[in-house]
A and B are shown apart, each in its own frame.
Chain A
């Protein structure tokens, strides 16, 4: 076979005009399994995926996908991958079934096999009833499902899914997850981008957090969670005054703040002694903290810690604070 890495990228750079979108992306995606690319809006996820799928060219850097070089062996890469982009790529005026048959034939299936494959996928993605309808009449989620199905007509080695679950209802998302897991257990490598941290947690064996055109962290979900500290002491404050006072006293030690609900989180090892000491420190009068809870770090924490300061409500946001990361 072709080695143990499905995607190997080194120093990918890309600018649009004077805007530097990718500033040296390095990625190493092992064969088989699911790899998630996380990052706030505009981080460069789509650009990275498009470069890896040969639809865009990097200004610098190199990438090998499914054993072939994206620049020099474009055609070979294309035959070994499939892609569902962030935006719909189906023909509105054709029916769902026609779209899938067409794609299956382009992927190399003879006519009969293409029809069979299309029917299977329509059933799988609960589009059987709408198969004969024009895509123009589909809902957003139905379109998304068709788009994902179209990506699965062939037998790719590497599947790229750019925000596959955006716009899907919980049941469709579950179907998607099942499909992704099946692909991975069949030896296919799935590289997906997502805004849903839960999705990455559920599916991905490894993930990379991208921010400002760079990979700011890469590893397994557990590894990354460990990196931002083991546990959190979650505190609810009595009133807005108490909240403001505590937040200003703690400064950057408050790893998470939520003025609306007047909650603050602090890093802790979760031991009784440390929790007691923290409580005494933040609330010496024993009247300001109404509830507390010890929580494990979530990918949310990883995401927020690595991609900027913890988000605060707009009223409290510093002037320099940028777009708030989307939370799952």
Chain B
């Protein structure tokens, strides 16, 4: 029993990742739902509104403009699913079993966050496949592709930890689902679907400085082989900052919830 504590914690986290992945695989319907909506939105944007939206010549087709935004939207759906599953775990007896086995909150939540990230990567692949099929034509080389995915991944992980905090604070799945609203709303007042300069002036300040815009602008620039400019660092700083904020909040909320 004289185990090295960090090794024990890491073992627990790995086992919890395994559990959360298995649970996700059993819940494919939910994953599909979280996928179908963004894809439908993409189709609506591209085919219904796309003709009316002028994003400027440099962006090419509207689908090329909007695809990164749809990926961000997907990340939002994924995160709200994560919040709900954390809430469920905390409400059910299973958390007592984990606690009585001395499994810490970090391990339990790491399981959720990793599974959330994996679900999101699958969703991203599916959305990209549809986007490519309807005319998305990024021009990036593999290195820039990876960089774009990296930027997205950092954002997805940050959202997942935030979702975990929300899941711990909420006492019902419905309450946790309310998180959806905020996270899903965030891409609209950003450059995700239309350029910011087409929005009313009072919105510019928020739209330019909220996290979604730099993430999207970085992805666009990377995928379309344009200079990344000054969007990349804010994007990474937002993701890192939100994660750094969420981690201690998670620990705190878990301790309060299980006190």
Contacts and interface: CB of A to CB of B under 8 A. Distances in A.
Interface of A: 53-55, 57, 75, 78-79, 81-83, 85, 87-91, 93-94, 98, 102-103, 105-108, 134, 150, 154
Contact of B23 (A55, A57, A89, A91): A91
A79 B15 contact: no
Contact of A78 (B3, B93, B100): B100
Given A91-B94, A94-B26, A54 B19 contact: no
B97 A89 contact: yes
Contact of B259 (A57, A134, A150): A57
B101 A106 contact: yes
A159 to B, nearest CB: 11
A94 B23 CA distance: 7
Contact of A106 (B95, B103, B258): B103
A98 B22 CA distance: 9
A102 B100 contact: no
Contacts of B98: 106
Interface in B108-134: none
7 smallest CB-CB distances across A and B, nearest first, come from A89-B93, A78-B102, A89-B97, A83-B100, A93-B26, A106-B101, A105-B15
Nearest to B99: A55
Interface centre among A54, A89, A107 (most CB of B within 10 A): A89
A6 B18 CA distance: 34
Contacts of A88: 93
A83 B93 CA distance: 12
B1 A79 contact: yes
Contact of B94 (A54, A81, A89, A107): A89
A107 B99 contact: no
Given A94-B22, A94-B26, A83 B96 contact: yes
Interface residues of B, number: 26
Nearest to A106: B101
Nearest to B26: A93
B259 to A, nearest CB: 7
Contact of B27 (A93, A107, A150, A154): A93
Interface of B: 1, 3, 8, 11-12, 15, 18-19, 22-23, 26-27, 92-103, 258-259
Contacts of B100: 53-55, 78, 81-83
Contacts of A107: 101
Contacts of B11: 105, 108
Nearest to B104: A75
Nearest to A83: B100
Contacts of B259: 57
Contacts of B3: 108
7 contacts: A78-B99, A82-B101, A89-B96, A91-B19, A94-B19, A102-B18, A108-B11
A104 to B, nearest CB: 10
Contacts of B27: 93
A87 B94 CA distance: 9
B19 A102 contact: yes
Nearest to B27: A93
A92 B96 CA distance: 15
B213 to A, nearest CB: 38
